[in-house]
Structure 1
């Protein structure tokens, strides 16, 4: 009872959920991104996120040296998997065989070295031929036969007497024998080369052995950056070429230099380096099956492709990343039609009949969670079905799917704004013991505290889970699924001469400066906000368009362009082909809320002539 434990609990929960670590929220010196939510959109993106390496430097820096790979990161950091833009080179990913050492500092290295040879105490002047023994940077003393000690320690490591990630370095230049058993060192495995009776080098590899058996028999050992710099490693396991130099180790395979996402690229060694970088970023976006138990998970957002297929061309690494069990993507038939000019640059034309047959269809899962709350043995909020006349502050939403326990039933179809969890809470007078008579005099003793889905979302209730939390209160999770069918995008929007609503009024598209202007956008499907655009695209369009012209505005857009209009008492996005013939209001500008009413049945006129201008 010395301090309130909820302060520490809430502080850690806030830091782990947001990634912002600071003593107080008012301090400017807070670290961002210390903890991150695991990306489970696809299985490959999850594995890639677990093997991510972030450099704690600002993204605005113009120096190139921190963004480049160092020579010591060979076979431990992927050279292809890094994001584009400001984070290029600052966010890296481990290679396939990269290993982070564990904590083995409890080993009594003084006793182990003393059993091999005598350790002399430190003295002022070193004797020629003696080596300093360092354990995790701490000096143990001098030894005479440092080479024999290093050979014996490596033998103990290869037979399993020492952990496999212990580093043993014999530095002949500085006359040091460095032994590292601390944690956090980046290492990677390599084959150990032995010499037979005829002086030929060979690799001690036998079939039908597990990885642990290879480590115990000394066929494979882990090398960190310090020990690797004192080894001569052959890049290709060619037995005829191993005798040309005094090799000590041999690489397992050249493809082990790549990371998870770069390893799924077929024939990556035949591509340009930027293409491998682009595919490493896009490969993790391919929808598929994120987990085998996806129907039992309650992730915040997840997508599952209805008919994923295994790729026609597989790489060796795919067999170890469960690509056969968790495929992603579809083997689409691609036709390259260049003669008639139907293909645009960096874009595709999809057959509508294939989309109607189910190509690229997926199911999106979204989970909602809620729990009851209690304050000093008084229920502050509990699951219940709010009823009109007995609850105040009810939402302007539909409560028809809420059952008596306050939860929706599986199979119910929800639309935008419907209540998904029904909750009630006492009114303010409930906590006042003096005014209990006042609460009894009024029948309205509860207040609505229900949770609704967003107006832009809809779907079918897939599953409902009801359990108890650590305080013994009810805790519920509701998963909603919705079918996603590929639709035409709205990038072909308006001519370059048309105007766009910005924070400075209506500005022509050709005059939009992405660094200066903030354009209107809809946040969470409800609120209109002005943000800086990321890019500005210009495309060519030939086909039917819609045109609306009045004294205050002139709009020329494609059929599927979404217009922000007021219809049905609220502002919303509607496609131009749906607005045709309706009486709607357009927002005049960002400063004044005045609107102009469009005349009925003459709101939009369809243009059948082709538009040659850039749109």
Structure 2
């Protein structure tokens, strides 16, 4: 859509489900669902193929266990629930009943005795969570009408899991680009060993089943290189030439020639290569066989996955296959890549090429939810196989045990499943992994998809996080917005505060690649060869000084002459755009050789998944091309046709706003605001009360906010219409007068017209849900038939549950049930402090396999009219609280009789420089006059053709002042005001921060047992926070007695004994006397243990926390003496 309009909401078919879903909205869930579908269709099969078999000895016989196949079923009701008519479980059922949306997962087990295959069997590993709208979800491929019939929204995009009724989303993390060696400088590497430097070439290797591991080629200051590989979170280091000789049976001369090829002029590097090769021979390792035997001998103790009968050579082959460059399948490719990494490392160490670093977006990709789920599932399947092994060994301890199919099935039955492991991961976001899965964090991987409003919900699915590890770093490198992020990461939509720069959001047009067609990927080397690439088989005959290396997904496939590189890349782009022979998601990065120190040259091609790409117009073909983060750096891209240079500019942006995210594109004219205000609006838009859903009667969320009287904005970007935001309206069009009228509008406060508030301005409500579960399976809900309370039948229905729409106050009956344990009826009362109404009552089913318990869900509706202290904001980041509800008759009015809904203080404009809000006041007024909607998309106006002039002329045509001002009359005495008042319409947002949820006051209440001070927390009836600034305020007012009352008398005042002679609080104790020496009717006295006298004991009043502190210091052998003097 080019311009916003009211056609959508004025259409007679408004509200009816469309024939197809909105393409832009479907992009939100697409990366998540496609990654999960890859796991189902291809990834799990690859993972099972790469899963190591579990092998062990049992009674001197070799047993081998392996998983060969799997079956992942759609969610269905367990067979035990025979009375259910429809076995299908839909997501809405799980949301309403606080259940997990999961399907049965079965695997086929093959097992061998002395390499002889036995009869395979199938094992049910439990029910594991299913992603909504994936191919294992019942909603997959449903039309909008069918989705509505199943209790979903017509634009449902999925991509999340439902865990115990809550929507959980696996967070997209920024990871290092896969299968590309990156030059990095890291000071921490110096601590890895003697003479280690801070220079290295790191490569994150990712296999087709998404298993990832890191290899780093370190430069050592003695001129050698050591390769780091990891296994089960432990790092190991080996000489480079040892690995090269172990990989392939090549002569030392061939290895030497390959390492120095193209670097024949670098004498330092040649000497280093010679020394590294000699070092291997000094260890008496001359052949490939010797190197492999040495590797196996050194590492076999650590690699317990290898069976105990494995030879040293087999252990070495396991290391080379599972730990070193795992993305490559054969040793020749691994050898070639290590040679390339060595040349790049020594070039970097000699400052011949630049550091690339892992913080640039061009060196990053995303970790998707489906891929992480696959890695965890693979690891849990292997853990289960080990559990099966332990179960067999446990059974084998019996004297009558004999390995057979029956015993194997018995052991499998006792070995449990993986259901709880995956459920716990998605419920908590904590990763319990032996290997660490190549991640830098094991917490915070899953977030709750909060549905406060539509903007908040959408932003979760496009959010990318740098990682929890970087939040603790003191440096700002990871937070910086670098130029290569243009078009991929939104520069506006990031929170202010601790996560600033770490939690970012993808731009509107940024797409995440999926796994391409493998046949098209296989065509790439053939196409390049036809275009002029020299294949790898003639590598030793090629002059590398005048050639670029060509890499495809981390595998060297050939070389291209420097003079032919630009032509070959240009023609390859033509094939890419057509997409018939090679994939359209191919990323082609030509890093040119420069005379100055620059990035290491080469042609790097990427086809893997999880990369960020965006569409651009290729000016050579006038067609749309997907461009990646790496290749964009070496392209010349213009924004408008006027900026293009002939034969220089290669691509052009599709729109001026392509670099903004979903939420940033909803800000009206952000180019006219100060940049922090746009950031604030992105945050406040996600805190706005609005219309989070349409299925109010099917919700069981803990808390939902609803704006009862929303309106469509009259001044809005076209993106508002493109994402159908009117379906989930979240603001109110208010008449605003910019005037300092009362003094109650200072410091961002605002005054609301009391009459407008009574007629529904920004009226909202909160929906809260509470689950009640009866402990005994035989208990049931029913109203007590023998009750003496005659009013109970007016409050509760015959089923013991409250009537819909009933008003609830504290201690009124909520529900009644029969307790089978005690054989009596029990009535429970409502414990809420706030008046509310029963919105819905649901009896929920438990899909578990235990005997079903009775569960009820009560949803309360809490009305929330705007009150003093509630927070509001315009879409220009002008936030403030309501300071007063002013009577309409006392507010100023215009010549036409209009009274403002909101009075806004003009002092809010100069320092904030929110010119867009001024424009909105004029545009909103002209839109209401002419009955249309104005486009607030940024970059439409220029300095010559200004927005103020455009809207000013529209106001003049409507009979109003060009500058948007009006003559107003005082509401107090009716006199005309001297100044002209800026007056118009602004779309205001009511934020979810309300006084009713935050106010706190107490005189007496619960205290901490240890410190005797008031508890913390509003829900627990705790005390009000009293900090240093409050203390300073009371001192400055001279109210010291009030300060003493707050912090002492009303807190932890206590009486203690002190010895004024030695000043100790711990010395005075009650003297213990023998019964024979104790005189009758004599009071006991406190005696100081240090002075051994009671003459100087006195009572004082001190805070109890001080006495507690003194006691703690005494436990550390520190004595505290208090100076005393008589006053």
Question: How do residues 198-597 of structure 1 correspond to structure 2 at under 5 angstroms?
Answer: 204=622, 219-238=623-642, 241-244=643-646, 246-338=648-740, 341-370=743-772, 380=777, 382-385=779-782, 401-416=795-810, 420=814, 427=821, 444-445=822-823, 454-471=831-848, 473=852, 476-489=856-869, 521-524=1016-1019, 526-528=1020-1022, 588-590=1050-1052
User: 1:100–1:183: 8 Å Cα contact kept in structure 2?
Assistant: yes
User: 2:706–2:764: 8 Å Cα contact kept in structure 1?
Assistant: yes
SS of equivalent residue, structure 1 residue 117: helix
Shift in CA distance, 177/409, structure 1 to aligned 2, threshold 3 Å: same
User: 1:42–1:284: 8 Å Cα contact kept in structure 2?
Assistant: yes
**Could you tell me how far apart the structure 2 residues matched to 1:11 and 1:67 are?**
33
**Greater RCO, CA 8 A, separation 6+:** 2
Shift in CA distance, 32/447, structure 1 to aligned 2, threshold 3 Å: farther
Shift in CA distance, 422/67, structure 1 to aligned 2, threshold 3 Å: farther
**Could you tell me how far apart the structure 2 residues matched to 1:338 and 1:539 are?**
27
**Could you tell me how far apart the structure 2 residues matched to 1:411 and 1:455 are?**
16
Tell me how large the CA RMSD over aligned residues is.
4.3
Residue of structure 2 in register with 1:608 after alignment = none
Post-superposition offset of 1:11: 4.1
Residue of structure 1 in register with 2:479 after alignment = 67
Shift in CA distance, 519/221, structure 1 to aligned 2, threshold 3 Å: farther
SS of equivalent residue, structure 1 residue 523: coil
Q: Is residue 422 of structure 2 the alignment partner of residue 12 of structure 1?
A: yes
Deviations 1:386-444 (A, max 9, x none): 85999xxxxxxx997454545433223322355656566654xxxxxxxxxxxxxxxx3
Residue of structure 1 in register with 2:330 after alignment = none
Deviations 1:240-261 (A, max 9, x none): x434452111012222222222
SS of equivalent residue, structure 1 residue 155: helix
SS of equivalent residue, structure 2 residue 577: helix
Pick the aligned partner of 1:114 from 503, 509, 526.
526
Deviations 1:269-320 (A, max 9, x none): 1111111111111122222212333444333211111110111211122122
User: 2:783–2:799: 8 Å Cα contact kept in structure 1?
Assistant: no
Which sections of structure 2, spanning at least 5 residues, go unmatched? Answer: 1-410, 435-439, 594-599, 871-880, 884-994, 996-1000, 1008-1012, 1056-1127
Pick the aligned partner of 2:444 from 23, 26, 33.
33
Post-superposition offset of 1:458: 3.9
**Could you tell me how far apart the structure 1 residues matched to 2:576 and 2:456 are?**
35
Aligned positions, number: 480
Q: Is residue 618 of structure 2 the alignment partner of residue 192 of structure 1?
A: yes
**Could you tell me how far apart the structure 1 residues matched to 2:424 and 2:670 are?**
42
Deviations 1:488-540 (A, max 9, x none): 239999xxxxx99899x9xxxxxxxxxxxx9765433x443687879969999
Deviations 1:220-239 (A, max 9, x none): 1221111111211012233x
Shift in CA distance, 163/112, structure 1 to aligned 2, threshold 3 Å: closer
SS of equivalent residue, structure 1 residue 103: coil
**Could you tell me how far apart the structure 2 residues matched to 1:4 and 1:275 are?**
60
Q: Is residue 595 of structure 2 the alignment partner of residue 172 of structure 1?
A: no
Deviations 1:200-222 (A, max 9, x none): xxxx4xxxxxxxxxxxxxx2122
Residue of structure 2 in register with 1:153 after alignment = 572
Shift in CA distance, 138/446, structure 1 to aligned 2, threshold 3 Å: farther
**Could you tell me how far apart the structure 1 residues matched to 2:829 and 2:433 are?**
34
Deviations 1:71-121 (A, max 9, x none): 211111111222122222221112222222112273463444225526342
Pick the aligned partner of 1:53 from 450, 458, 464.
464
SS of equivalent residue, structure 1 residue 331: strand
User: 1:287–1:304: 8 Å Cα contact kept in structure 2?
Assistant: yes
Higher-Rg structure is 2
Q: Is residue 507 of structure 2 the alignment partner of residue 95 of structure 1?
A: yes
User: 1:80–1:277: 8 Å Cα contact kept in structure 2?
Assistant: yes
- The normalised TM-score by structure 1 is 0.67
Residue of structure 1 in register with 2:551 after alignment = 134
User: 2:690–2:705: 8 Å Cα contact kept in structure 1?
Assistant: yes
**Could you tell me how far apart the structure 1 residues matched to 2:755 and 2:1049 are?**
38
User: 2:780–2:819: 8 Å Cα contact kept in structure 1?
Assistant: no
User: 1:75–1:257: 8 Å Cα contact kept in structure 2?
Assistant: yes
Shift in CA distance, 340/185, structure 1 to aligned 2, threshold 3 Å: same
User: 1:502–1:530: 8 Å Cα contact kept in structure 2?
Assistant: no
| Greater mean alpha carbon deviation, residues 58-67 or residues 323-332 | 58-67
User: 2:812–2:829: 8 Å Cα contact kept in structure 1?
Assistant: yes
Shift in CA distance, 383/590, structure 1 to aligned 2, threshold 3 Å: farther
**Could you tell me how far apart the structure 2 residues matched to 1:5 and 1:592 are?**
59
Shift in CA distance, 180/591, structure 1 to aligned 2, threshold 3 Å: farther
SS of equivalent residue, structure 1 residue 44: helix
Moved over 6 A (4+): 3-7, 490-493, 499-503, 529-540
**Could you tell me how far apart the structure 1 residues matched to 2:566 and 2:519 are?**
21
Shift in CA distance, 299/163, structure 1 to aligned 2, threshold 3 Å: farther
SS of equivalent residue, structure 1 residue 69: coil
Residue of structure 1 in register with 2:923 after alignment = none
**Could you tell me how far apart the structure 1 residues matched to 2:832 and 2:451 are?**
25
SS of equivalent residue, structure 2 residue 658: helix
User: 1:42–1:290: 8 Å Cα contact kept in structure 2?
Assistant: yes
**Could you tell me how far apart the structure 1 residues matched to 2:505 and 2:477 are?**
17
**Could you tell me how far apart the structure 1 residues matched to 2:1051 and 2:417 are?**
46
**Could you tell me how far apart the structure 2 residues matched to 1:45 and 1:320 are?**
17
Deviations 1:552-585 (A, max 9, x none): 9599xxxxxxxxxxxxxxxxxxxxxxxxxxxxxx
- The normalised TM-score by structure 2 is 0.38
**Could you tell me how far apart the structure 2 residues matched to 1:11 and 1:256 are?**
41
Pick the aligned partner of 1:182 from 600, 603, 608.
608
Shift in CA distance, 372/98, structure 1 to aligned 2, threshold 3 Å: farther
**Could you tell me how far apart the structure 1 residues matched to 2:510 and 2:1027 are?**
39
SS of equivalent residue, structure 1 residue 194: coil
